[in-house]
Amino acid sequence: MTQLTQPSSSTMTIEGITDAVILRYFDSLNRENYSETASLFRAEGSLNPPFEDPIVGAEAIITYLEAEAKGMQLAPRQGIKETLEDNLLKYEITGKVKTPLFSVNVAWKFILNSQSEIISVEIKLLASPQELLKLRG
């Protein structure tokens, strides 16, 4: 997968988070540039959406996002960063995802390696079971 020759200018801001990779993740998804999003992951990196098996590898991530993320706007609000063993970084971010049909509160958990590549992103819906049932309607 080819990297971008020039970094995208991100207007994304997340309280407590300044890491360029995290900001590019949200910015590229909001621009529906799924190739750029996938390029932020290491080769065997995984996207872990709610209620689904992990999506592993750039091509699988692109295919998944093209099918599932069109029209979504991610609005991360705030986050915290934690250093783990082996020079790994963990970011926990909360915010909202807006789709053409609904909005839902979401939490993202990112693990990055020392090369600033995304190892994994876990996405959790922060909604009650009743709220989730309404979304199925």
Span 33-58, pLDDT tens digits: 999 999 999 999 999 999 899 999 99
Res. 78: pLDDT tops 50: yes
Reported as a single tens digit per residue, the pLDDT across 97-113 is: 998 888 899 999 999 99
Better-predicted residue by pLDDT, 4 or 126: 126
Instruction: Set out the domains of the chain in order of their start, with CATH numbers.
Output: 20-136 (3.10.450.50)
CA separation for the pair 100, 82 (Å, rounded): 34
Entry pTM: 0.86
- Residues 107, 93 contacting (CB under 8 angstroms): yes
| Contact status, residue 99 vs residue 71, Cβ threshold 8 Å | yes
The Cα–Cα gap between 21 and 41 comes to 9
The span from the first CA to the last CA of the chain, in angstroms, equals 38
Mean pLDDT of 17-39: 97
Going by pLDDT thresholds of 50, 70 and 90, the confidence category of residue 28 is: very high
